[in-house]
Amino acid sequence: MTHFLVTGASGLLGLNFSLAVDGKKHQVTGVDNRNPLRWINFKTLQANLIKPDVVERIIQEVKPDVILHCAANANVDDCETRPEDAEKVNGVLSGEIATAAKRYDVKMIHISTDAVFNGVTGNYTETDTPEPLSVYAKTKLHGEQAVLEANPNALVARVNFYGWSITGTRSLAEWFAYNLAEGKRVKGFTDILFCPMMVLDLVDTLIEAAEKDLKGIYHCVGAEAMSKYEFGVAIATQFGFDANLIDPASVHDGGLTASRSPNLTLSTEKLKTALGHPLPAFKDGLKKFHDQYRHGFPEMIKSLV
């Protein structure tokens, strides 16, 4: 049984990973700073990881086999207005955790983002040169660099995922689902391309990557590329909502503060080769997302805070 220490345990990935994994084949201890969790099946610790010596103290106490570092400021527009805070969390902290993980011989999986690229060409490989546009993306790239400089045996997973969160606001999929359920008109960007992966598929992928002890940078995104408009239409179709409520729009009309990369399609050939099989199909992940909705999972996780 592998013992995972999961930072950002109330976040979308951290919480879904911990709920899905703990008590199955593996054990989880979650660390969170802002959202005390209740009625959960895994152990949690409240801690501010950016305070001195906190990371080492937790590693000494928990004695994990793997650190899954999900904690980040992922609010792209907030990072734009508070760049120094974003750098502390997304950049500096990641390097400190990697340093401590190496010192105590703990495997580290660092969660990064597809947004490290400028989005001019798309279908990026792990060897392509990043060129981040926003403060968020720049600080996440700094995090990648700090992790691998401190701990070359770490795994850096560049991701783009969706699922249900405790706030109901952490993923684009939730935003589409909740608005369409209420019959509200929404915009879907036709000029932003990406490769979304359902969070439970990402959980399985990260577990398998840990078991195979993958090192270095891997693109852990969905198997299919689409625009955010197409993503919204797919959700409407799966859920039985009115897809005509989604208006095709340009990101330039979205009123967003930070710059967005237009084409964040990533090649997953390196990951597929390492795992020895294709990545999960988009339609299967979307069905899991819908099944959770039908069975009350969104309401259940909101009750955990």
Tell me the DSSP string of 17-29.
Answer: HHHHHBTTTEEEE
Q: Output the pTM of the full model.
A: 0.96
First to last CA, the chain: 28
Pairing state between β 66-69 and 2-7: parallel
Delineate the domains of the chain, giving CATH numbers in brackets. 2-167+195-225+266-282 (3.40.50.720)
- Mean pLDDT for the stretch of residues 271-289: 98
- Total residues belonging to the chain: 305
**Where residue 13 falls among pLDDT bands split at 50, 70, 90?**
very high
* Torsion angle defined by CA atoms of residues 74, 266, 276 and 281, in that order, rounded to the nearest 10 degrees: 80
The pLDDT, as a whole number, for residue 256 is 74
By the 8 A CB rule, do 193 and 263 touch? yes
**Taking the CB of residue 294, how many other CB atoms lie within 10 A of it?**
8
Residue 261's pLDDT is: 86
> How far is it, in rounded angstroms, from Cα 125 to Cα 142?
18
Q: Residue 37's pLDDT is what?
A: 84
- Mean pLDDT of the region 265-273: 98
Residue 119 clears pLDDT 90, i.e. is over it: yes
**Integer Cα distance of 69 and 6 in angstroms:** 6
Is the backbone of residue 186 left (phi > 0), alpha (psi -120 to 50) or beta?
beta
pLDDT tens digits, 137-194 = 999 999 999 999 999 999 999 999 999 999 998 899 999 999 999 999 999 999 999 9
Mean pLDDT, rounded, for 69-91: 95
4 forms bridges with which residues in the sheet?
28, 66
Residue with tokens 């005509």: 244
In this prediction, residue 254 carries a pLDDT of: 72
Query: What's the rounded Cα separation, in Å, for the pair 209 and 4?
Result: 13
Binned at pLDDT 50, 70 and 90, residue 25 comes out as: confident
Q: What is the pLDDT of residue 277?
A: 97
Q: In the chain, pLDDT over 70 holds for what percent of residues?
A: 100
Residue 177 pLDDT = 98
Query: For position 24, what pLDDT does the model report?
Result: 81
**Banded pLDDT at 84 (limits 50, 70, 90):** very high
Q: For residues 293 and 299, what is the distance between their CA atoms, to the nearest angstrom?
A: 9
Per residue in 207-256, pLDDT tens? Answer: 999 999 999 999 999 999 999 999 999 999 999 999 999 999 998 887 77
Residue 34 clears pLDDT 80, i.e. is over it: no
Mean pLDDT score of the chain:
95
pLDDT band at 257 (very low <50, low <70, confident <90, very high): confident
Exposure of 83 in the CB half-sphere (CA atoms within 13 A): 7
